Structures are given as C-alpha cells and as structure tokens.
Amino acid sequence: MSTISPLIPAQGASPGSLPAPLNPILGRDTEIDQVLHLLDRDDLRLVTLLGPGGVGKTRLALEVTRRAEPDFAHGACFVPLAPVRDHRLVPTTVARLLGVAENPLVPVAERLKDILRASHVLLVLDNLEHLADAVSPWLADLLLHCPRLKVLATSRRPLRLSGEQRFLVSPLPVLDPESGVMPSSPAVELFVQRAKAVRPDFELNEANARFVAAVCHRLDGLPLAIELAAARVNVLPVPEILDRLADQLSLLTPRRRDPVPGLQSMRFAITWSHNLLSAGEQELFRRLTVFVGGFTLDAAESVCAGREHGMTREGAVIDLLGSLVDQSLINRVAKPNGDSRFTMMESVNAYARQQLLAHGEAETFAARHAEWCLRLAERAEHRLVREVDTSWLDVLEAEHDNLRAALGWSLDPARSRAGVALRLAGSLWLFWYYHSHLSEGRRWLERAVHASNASNSADWAKALLGLGNLAHSQGDDGQALDCLTESVAISRALGDRWATAFALSVRGNLSEDGGDYDEARSFFAEANTLFDETGDQVNVAVTRYHLGVVAYGQGNLERALDQCLSALALARDQNDPWTVANALSYVGLIQIDRNHTLEAANALSEALALYGQIAATERIVDVFRRIAVLAHVRGEARAAVRLFAAASAIGERFGAVQALPERAAYDRALGLARRPLANGEYESAWESGQRLALADALAEAHACLGAGEWPPLARPGGPDSLQGERIAGLSERELAVLRQMADGMSNQQIADGLFLSQRTVAHHVSSVLSKLRVESRTAAVAYAIRNGIA
Ligand SMILES: Nc1ncnc2c1ncn2[C@@H]1O[C@H](COP(=O)(O)OP(=O)(O)O)[C@@H](O)[C@H]1O
Ligand SMILES: [Mg+2]
C-alpha cells in the first residue's frame, strides 16, 4: 500500500499555491533562519509568529514557507484566514485549498483529518487572531491525528495550545538618526522601494537620507507604517512627512510607551495617513470596510457611491480608489483574466471600520452591501438556471465571503431583514450544490427558512427546494422529501408553472436516485410538459434526459436511447454543454448494454472531452466508470479494474455520489471483471489503479476507448499473455520493465525488484518508449494495458 495520500499531489504541484509578493523581502535573514530551524525540529509541530498588525508576520511566513516547501513531500498550503469570520469554515477553507471537496456524507473536518493523516504537509494559517480561541480545539485534534503535519500560524494573539512554539516578530531594526552615520537598513530600503512605486524618480541621497531614517525611526521600524508614510512622497517632501508625523505623534502620544512595540506606531501611521486623505477619499475608504474578502471596482461603485449618501459619485469611485491604492491603504490584486480585485489590510481595516461607525454609516452601507449581494446572487441564479452559464459559479465563489457577510447581517434578529436572507439563500443554493458547499449551504437555508415568516411565498418555496436538494445530496432523504413536497405544493398553489416544473424536476431526482422509477417518470414527465409550455427549452432537454435515465433504470433500453438522443439533439441546439455531456455519457452506457460498443466508445469519448472543457472533474471520474464497463465488455478485465479503482480514488476527493441506475451497472461490471483474473491479479490491478493520477487515468481511459480500433493482441491473464514477448520487438527484460511501469513503480522500485541498477532501468525505459513509438511513460503504460501486456 502506498503511504502517499492519492488526494494530495506529490511535490512540485503544491496545493494552496503561495501568493507571490511583488517585491523581495528586505532584511529578516536571522528571523528566517530561526523559524526554519524551528520548523525543522522533530519535537515541534506548531509554530506561531506573533506580533502587532503590520509588523511583517505574513511577509515573513511567506518567505519561510517558500524556503521550507521543498522539504515537505506534499508541499505547503497557504491559507489566508483574515476574511473568514466563522471558525467552522476554517476546515472548509483549508480543504478547498487542498483541492478536497466536501463529501456529502462525511463532515469536512473528518475528511481533512483522513487526508492529512498520511501526508507530509506544511499548513500555513495566516491571520488567525480573530479565530484563535475557537479553532484551537480543532487544530489540536488535527495535529494529534496527523503525525507528519506541521503548522505555521501568524496571529496577533497566541493560540495557547500545548506544544505551541511562539516566535515574536519584531519591527525592522532602526538606528537613531541622531547617532551620526546612516548605514542602509531594511527599513530605509523599504521606504525607498515604496516611494519609488509612487514616484519612480525618487532617490535616496545625502539630502534626504537623514529624514528617511528619521521617519523610519519615528515609526519604530514598523513595515506597514513605513509603507503608508512612503506612499506620500508624491505630494510631500520627506522632511515635511517627518514634520507632520511629529505633529501627529505629539498630538496623540500619551507619554507611556505601548507594551507591544509597533502597536502604537501603527495607529499613528494610519491616523496620519487617513488625515491626509481628501474628504471623498476618506468617505470611500471607510465605506469599503463593508466588504469582506475583497471587492471589485463595480461592487465598490454600486455599494459606496450615490448622491444621497455624501460626495462620492459613482464615476468618481475609480479615481478615489486609485488614489487609495497609491497611498497603500488598499491593495490591488491582478486576476489572471486581467481584472482587478481590491483588498484592505486587516490593521487598516480595523481603523477604517471605526471611522464608518463614528460617521453613523455602518447600517446604511451594510444594507447596501446586502442589496448588492442579493442582486448578484439573483443574476447568477438566472444565468445558471436559464442559460447554464456556469462561469457564474466562479463569480459567486470569489464573492463567497461577501455573501456570507450579507447572510449573517440579514439574519441578525435585531434587523428584521429575514426576507433578504430568504431570497439570498434561495438564489444561492445551486451554487452551494455545484461547488459542494453542502453543509454550509444547508445551514444558511435552514436559518433563513426558520427566521422567515413568509411561508407560502415564492421565495419560501425556492428556499425549501434548495434545502431539500442539499439534504438529499447529503443522504438525508427524510428532510428532502418533506421540503420538496412542500415546495412543489406551494408553487402549484401560487400558479407559477415554471417554478412548479423546476420543483418537480428536483423532486424527480429524489425518486430517480432512490430507484423509484415509476414515480420519477411521472414527476419528470409533468415537469417536461410545463417547461415546454413556459418556453424553457433548456430544461425541456434536461427533463427529457432524465426520462431517458429513468427508462434505463426500468430496463427499457430502446426508450432510454430514444429519450437520451432526443435530449442530446435539443441540448445541442440550446448550447447547453452540461446536458449534452450528460446525455452523451448515458448514451454510452445504454449502447454498451445494446452491444453497440463502437457507438458507446464514440459517445463516451465526446462526453469526456466536453466535461474536460467545462472542468467538471467529478463527472470525468464518472465517465471513467462507464469506460471501465466498456473495457470489461470488451474482455479487458484488468484495464476495467484499474479504471474503476482510479475513479474510486480520484472520486473520493469530490465526494460525488452516483445515481442508482448507473451504480447498478458499475457494480455488475466490476463483479464480472474480477472473475477472469487470477489470484492476486485483481488486488494488484485495483491497487495500481488507485495510485493513478488524474492525467494518467485519462490516458488509460482514452486507450480503452481506442481499443476498438486495434483488436487486443492478448487477453490479460489469458493463456496467450505470455506470448507477448515479441510485441513491438520488446526484449524479455523490457517487457518485465514495462509490466512494472504499468504497476505504477518508479525506476528505483523497478531497479530494486529486478536487481538492476537505476541507470540500466532508465535505459530499458527509454528503449521501451522508442520501440513502442510513444513519448511518455503514461502512453507506454496505456499501450501495455490495451495490449494485455501488463
Ligand atoms: N521584511 C519585509 N520586506 C519587505 N516588505 C515587508 C517586510 N515586512 C513587511 N513588509 C510589508 O509590510 C506590510 C505589512 O506586513 P505584513 O506581513 O502583512 O504584516 P502583518 O502580517 O504582521 O500584519 C506588507 O505590505 C508587507 O509586504
Ligand atoms: Mg498578516
């Protein structure tokens, strides 16, 4: 058994990729070495970087992580936690960054433990202070169960866990400028670097060096404070910055020094920077704090601007925002698609938030934020349901923290905004479903339904529909049945034909997955008619596809094929890639049963390509199973078992549950594929299949699909499999090497097994590749499997 978890990519492809800072780290050599040393110690599992906001904890953690990452077999995962308000979402956030989706039936914290138990990972929990107490028990439990896991946390407060190693991060060292000579220091370099960002011709020279050093000294070497001051060089000469800073300090400093170095300087720097803002900038700055987890320009414009609320006009937001970015109060993050997203540093946010409260604007703008979230969610819902435009799922994922904030705000009993919460949750359920936020979505929907007194309304029916669907996908069919039945009844009573049709189709799924095909058929048939009447052809195709699935479940292959082909044609007309792929993938299964293996292979091959394009990995895994059924029917038992095993291991990560009709087909095929395999062969095929990475499994799946065109040379395990020696002119040694490659062995493992040197094995491998005329190891393995060599 492999000790490496199949769920976490091996070294190189690191999960939760590290944010790449734009500028090199300045100074901190000693600290980096010290923290690396702590992480290296066998007796330490949790290291917390402590210090006030803006002192450079996150920057230091990033650098340490970058350097330590190669020492961890499964890499490092960087988890920014500042936007996470609810401690229960910490495991979810970590899991998402590790590429592990919620499994419908197992709580995410348990899954995470399972996965990390066998993994050698550095988990970096950044900005943990606001969650410190609440997550401590979870973290302690995680560390207890995952012996090779190490955690690096950054926090303003200690986590108070036994075994926690605290590391105090001090501000950058500064020299008293009165002391004479001015050697360059990281603090001064930081000032110069950030000053150049706003004024490219800024140079450190004899005239200004003393003042720069004095500014850094005044600010106690606190990096964020230095950045804020340096951002002003485009309007103020450095001596003036120093003067104004001194004024500010004398104004605000009571004589006592803060026990935590840097804390006070941070407050000064922000206050100072804030006071230099124009009234419009100040206004926008404080209002932006209603966002959680960042925002887009569009969002800032629609939430923060408006004639009735002060001077910030919509058109002016772009300039004001640009100016806040120049002054380092807001960060701009460029997205791969060229768009920008904006964030506010935590310590800055805390100050700006106080300003918002002081101006009495908190409620007004939180309400506008919630309205914006609602508009976004409803627009996305419409696009998802009517146009199957799944790009909206990513938009909602990017705004998830904002949506959570709006839900939390509107559910506060003091506000009586339960109507907003109900609409918001009701329009988000599809997103929660498709992106596997099952437990969380269910929690919000339950809270929204309980808080609302709008029973019998359309919004209520929609929320119940979502709740029913999420409950079903988590296996709670009792709750699902109640919610869906009620939802259908309300929509019917309201006379809303489209909503009734939609509810009926979700209700039909419940019956279909439970194997109650007669009942399912009547729900889908009625839904199909209603969608047709309301002119929603996209959903006519969806329900027709389901009628095909149900017919398959009833054993009526001809009817099943008929419905699926007709759904396929309609879905192609409607440009709905999901239903096209779903229908194709069912056509594949049906054609296998009808012994039309070539048609099956064609349909499955197109389905595979389409799911690949829409990045539906859990569906790709399901196609693997169908291809495995095909391989089995074609007599390629070993290939079938390997693909089933790969699907099971990779599918684990997505927690996809299979509907009943196809599940029965899979179980049957796997059972039968086992029979012709000799003792131990099944187990070895299963184990090696489980180790396949997604890309390798894809190559094998393609190889199986192509097998129709090349009649297999030898049946695996059959009497002629030993005749394979002369295949492609491979020598006996090369064949042995190829078989071991197919078992997922590395060159080193093959060398050990065959008593050869690793160099000799490498030589054999390359000659195998050239004789088979393939470019990669994966392709060679696929060839071997296709030809029954492995
Ligand atoms: N050693 C350093 N070199 C360059 N920039 C730094 C350094 N330390 C901190 N900074 C910058 O200062 C700001 C605050 O640092 P950060 O690490 O976010 O602080 P914290 O996490 O302690 O609140 C960031 O913009 C960061 O990039
Ligand atoms: Mg930080």
Paired strand residues for 168: 50
Candidate of 49, 224, 270 to mutate for ligand 1, largest count of ligand atoms within 8 Å of Cβ: 224
**CATH assignment of 728-790, given 3.10.310.70, 1.10.10.10, 1.10.3470.10, 2.30.30.90?**
1.10.10.10
Binding pocket residue ranges, ligand 1, CB within 6 Å? 21, 23, 25-28, 51, 53-59, 154, 186, 190, 223-224, 227, 347
- Give the DSSP per-residue string, 478-538: HHHHHHHHHHHHHHHHHT-HHHHHHHHHHHHHHHHHTT-HHHHHHHHHHHHHHHHHTT-HH
| Per-residue confidence (pLDDT) for residue 708, from 0 to 100 | 44
Residue 30 burial (CB count, 10 A) = 8
φ, ψ of residue 294 in degrees (nearest 5): 90, 170
Q: Say if domain 373-573 classifies as CATH 3.40.720.10.
A: no
- Give the angle 503-505-507 at the CA atoms, nearest 5°: 70
Cβ distance 429 to 469 under 8 Å?
Answer: yes
φ, ψ of residue 164 in degrees (nearest 5): -70, 130
Q: Give me the residue label for tokens 């998802």.
A: 384
- Please enumerate in sequence order all residues whose Cβ is within 8 A of that of 199, keeping only pairs 6 or more positions apart, or say none: 233, 234
Q: How far is the CA of 563 from the centre of ligand 2 (A)?
A: 56
| Per-residue confidence (pLDDT) for residue 665, from 0 to 100 | 87
From the CA of 23, give the closest atom in ligand 1: 4
The ligand whose atoms approach the alpha carbon of 56 most closely is 1
Q: How far is the CA of 336 from the centre of ligand 2 (A)?
A: 23
CA distance 600 to 708: 10
Q: Give me the residue label for tokens 């179980």.
A: 667
Chunked into runs of 10 residues, the chain (790 residues) has average pLDDT values of: 32 54 88 96 95 92 94 90 91 86 77 87 93 92 94 92 92 76 82 92 90 90 92 90 79 52 75 90 96 95 77 81 90 82 89 94 95 97 84 92 97 92 97 88 96 91 96 91 97 97 96 93 98 95 96 95 97 91 95 93 94 79 94 93 92 68 88 88 93 89 71 33 51 79 75 71 79 71 68
Q: Say if domain 29-168 classifies as CATH 3.40.50.300.
A: yes
The ligand whose atoms approach the alpha carbon of 127 most closely is 2
The ligand whose atoms approach the alpha carbon of 26 most closely is 1
φ, ψ of residue 126 in degrees (nearest 5): -95, 135
Cα R_g (the chain), whole angstroms:
31
* E strand or H helix at 303: helix 297-304
φ, ψ of residue 332 in degrees (nearest 5): -105, 130
What are the angstrom distances between the C-alpha of 746 and each of 128, 138, 501, 698?
Answer: 40, 37, 54, 19
The ligand whose atoms approach the alpha carbon of 331 most closely is 1
From the CA of 328, give the closest atom in ligand 1: 25
From the CA of 28, give the closest atom in ligand 1: 1
What are the angstrom distances between the C-alpha of 154 and each of 96, 415, 587?
Answer: 20, 35, 53
From the CA of 27, give the closest atom in ligand 1: 1
| Per-residue confidence (pLDDT) for residue 13, from 0 to 100 | 39
- Please enumerate in sequence order all residues whose Cβ is within 8 A of that of 197, keeping only pairs 6 or more positions apart, or say none: 231
CA distance 402 to 110: 27
Assigned CATH for 279-360 = 1.10.10.10
| Per-residue confidence (pLDDT) for residue 330, from 0 to 100 | 93
Return the structure tokens found at 101: 């989706």
| Per-residue confidence (pLDDT) for residue 706, from 0 to 100 | 81
Sheet holding 164-168, edge to edge: 76-80, 122-126, 150-155, 46-50, 164-168
| Per-residue confidence (pLDDT) for residue 723, from 0 to 100 | 36
* E strand or H helix at 745: none
The ligand whose atoms approach the alpha carbon of 55 most closely is 1
Return the structure tokens found at 770: 């050239």
Q: How far is the CA of 689 from the centre of ligand 2 (A)?
A: 42
Which protein residue has the closest C-alpha to ligand 1 atom 24? 224
Q: How far is the CA of 335 from the centre of ligand 1 (A)?
A: 21
> Pick from 646, 635, 602, 615: which is nearest to 786 by CA?
635
Q: How far is the CA of 51 from the centre of ligand 2 (A)?
A: 9
Q: How far is the CA of 57 from the centre of ligand 2 (A)?
A: 5
Q: How far is the CA of 179 from the centre of ligand 1 (A)?
A: 27
Q: How far is the CA of 56 from the centre of ligand 1 (A)?
A: 4
The torsion region of residue 183 among left (phi > 0), alpha (psi -120 to 50) and beta comes to beta
| Per-residue confidence (pLDDT) for residue 36, from 0 to 100 | 97
Which protein residue has the closest C-alpha to ligand 1 atom 9? 56
CA distance 484 to 469: 8
Residue 176 burial (CB count, 10 A) = 9
Candidate of 18, 25, 59 to mutate for ligand 1, largest count of ligand atoms within 8 Å of Cβ: 59
